Structure 1
Amino acid sequence: MNWVEAIGYLGTALTISASAMSTMIPLRIIALLASCAVITYGFLIDSMPVVLTEMIQIPFNAFRLWQMLRLVRDVEKAADGDLSLDWLRPFGSERPFGVGEVLFRKGDPATEMYYVESGVFKIPEYGLEVRQGGIVGELGLLSPGNTRTASLVCVEAGRALCVSYSDVKQLYYQNPEFGFYFLKLTSERLFQSAQIDTAKKAAPAEGDVL
């Protein structure tokens, strides 16, 4: 076996390794390295179909790698304090909601979460309003049986970005780092809800003498 064949075998080994990986960032990196090795081999044996095939794949793998690295970075930023859902925008769909429309009721099966882009939504069980930039419904992913812990009603017409739990789970399984930061983010949400409950219980009822 000469050194040209060795490069070809290296490309083959890297391609097989990429196919066997379950996490996306290492998979994309190995796939890019495999393409570089195969392109080199293709030039050395003067096989333009081999070169062309790999050159077409490189931009796709590079874009997906960049997309996943950006996602991890943005989720890490969100977990450190910026609790925006903008980092999930590429994975959601925008939907309009009218006044009085019930997005979900307490006890309903939970399948998606929402990022409010406009309008006003209310959680009647807590008397809370969710306005532009607010996030609601993500805790259903972690609740027992994936059921809603409260209801959500539209009180002022608007739009919300809907992100399905299936997409979140797919990202979670494909990238453990994303999963870690998403759990950290949802834990922060849970603590915020607990603080609101505590504050409401501690506040004097209407008519109480201060």
Structure 2
Amino acid sequence: MNWVEAIGYLGTALTIAASAMSTMIPLRIVALLASCAVITYGFLIGSMPVVLTELIQIPFNAIRLYQMIRLIRDAERAATGDLSFDWLKPFGEARRFTAGAVVFRQGEPAAEMLYVESGLFRIPEQDITVRPGAIVGELGMLSPGNLRTGSLVCVEAGQARCISYLEVKQLYYQNPEFGFYLLKLTSERLFQATQHTGRRASSVPAGSEVM
């Protein structure tokens, strides 16, 4: 086996290794290395179809690698205290809601969460106002039976990005680090809801009956 064949075998080995990986960032990196090895081999043996195939794949792998690294970076920053979810915009579908519209009701099946871009929304059961820059509906993904834990009503007309749980789960499984930070963000929301409930309970006068 000469050194040209060795490069070809290296490209094959890296391609197989990339196919066997379950996390996206290492997969994309190895896939890029495999493409470089195969392109080199293709040039050395004069096979332009091989070179062309790998040249087409490189931009796709590079773009997806950049997107995943950016997601992790932005999610990590949010998990340290900045509850900005702008990084979810590319994965959401924009929808407009009119004042008075019921977006969803407590107990309904849940299939997506919302990122509020404009307008004003309210969760009546918890007396929580949801303003632009916040997410809502993410807890339905974790609730038993994927049911809504509260209703959402549009108070002032606005727009929200709707991100399906399927999309969120795909991002979660594709990269464990992203999933870890998403869990931290969701935990932050749970703590906020618990603190809000505690404040409401403490505001009830002694001897009052809570309905």
CA distance in 2, matches of 1:27, 1:187: 29
Task: State the match for 1:17 in structure 2.
Answer: 17
The structural deviation recorded for 1:50 is 1.4
1:39-118 counterparts in 2 under 5 A?
39-118=39-118
Task: State the match for 1:170 in structure 2.
Answer: 170
CA distance in 2, matches of 1:95, 1:139: 20
What's the secondary structure of 1:106's corresponding residue? coil
Q: What amino acid is the match of 1:203?
A: S
Task: State the match for 1:141 in structure 2.
Answer: 141
CA distance in 1, matches of 2:194, 2:155: 24
What's the secondary structure of 1:154's corresponding residue? strand
**Mind listing any 5+ residue stretches in structure 1 that lack a counterpart?**
none
The structural deviation recorded for 1:22 is 1.8
The aligned length equals: 206
CA distance in 1, matches of 2:171, 2:196: 30
1:171-210 counterparts in 2 under 5 A?
171-204=171-204
Task: State the match for 1:161 in structure 2.
Answer: 161
| TM-superposition CA deviations, 1:39-95 (whole Å, max 9, x none) | 111111122221121112111111110000000111111111111111111111110
The structural deviation recorded for 1:115 is 1.0
Would the aligned equivalents of 2:116 and 2:132 in 1 still touch at CA under 8 Å? yes
The two structures have a TM-score, normalised by structure 2, of 0.94
Would the aligned equivalents of 2:86 and 2:133 in 1 still touch at CA under 8 Å? no
Measured on the aligned residues, the alpha-carbon RMSD in Å equals 1.2
**Mind listing any 5+ residue stretches in structure 2 that lack a counterpart?**
none
CA distance in 1, matches of 2:125, 2:144: 19
Q: Sequence identity of aligned pairs in percent?
A: 74
Task: State the match for 2:34 in structure 1.
Answer: 34
Task: State the match for 1:131 in structure 2.
Answer: 131
Q: What amino acid is the match of 2:21?
A: M
CA distance in 1, matches of 2:31, 2:63: 12
What's the secondary structure of 1:125's corresponding residue? coil
